[in-house]
Amino acid sequence: MKIFIDADGCPVTDIAVKIAIKYGVECTIICDTAHSIHRDGAETITVSKGADSVDFRLVNLISEGDIAITQDYGLAAMCLSKKAIVLNQDGKRYTEDNIQGLLEFRAISAKIRRSGGRTKGLPKRTEQQNRDFENALIALIIGQN
């Protein structure tokens, strides 16, 4: 089992690395050249800035049973197709049962924005969300999920 973090805009990189170190799990941070994300205890892979460059690198590295941390539904779907476990920044799992609805929601939101409409952004992150993520990742690593 390895952990791969889609680190561009990821609010839980530090938490994930801390947990990976604590439980002895290999951890890789993937970001593009617009971000410089290096943490002790994790490998960092920096890819060229470009549409989905981080996503494609991550999906090429991930294997069955590995954990991907991302808030990107498209990347989550690709990782699920490789039989990986996928968590979002709030500790919620993307699964074969929920990914299609999430992708459809993303498409509808994009259509609204293209037509000049607005969609609501995410509320300010809370400490409870960080705790939920931490608990979910630990449970996956120790085999409770």
Cα 63–chain centre separation? 15
pLDDT band at 84 (very low <50, low <70, confident <90, very high): very high
pLDDT band at 39 (very low <50, low <70, confident <90, very high): very high
Instruction: Read off φ and ψ for residue 95, nearest 5 degrees.
Output: -135, 170
Q: Tell me, what DSSP letter sits at residue 141? A: H
Q: Higher pLDDT residue, 113 or 136?
A: 136
What average pLDDT does range 66-78 have in this prediction?
Answer: 93
Domains within the chain, CATH numbers bracketed: 2-141 (3.40.50)
- Model-level pTM? 0.85
pLDDT band at 8 (very low <50, low <70, confident <90, very high): confident
Residues 6+ apart with CB under 8 A from 29: 5, 7, 13, 17, 37, 38, 39, 42, 43, 44, 45
**According to the model, what pLDDT value does residue 121 have?**
67
Count of other CB atoms within 10 angstroms of residue 102 = 16
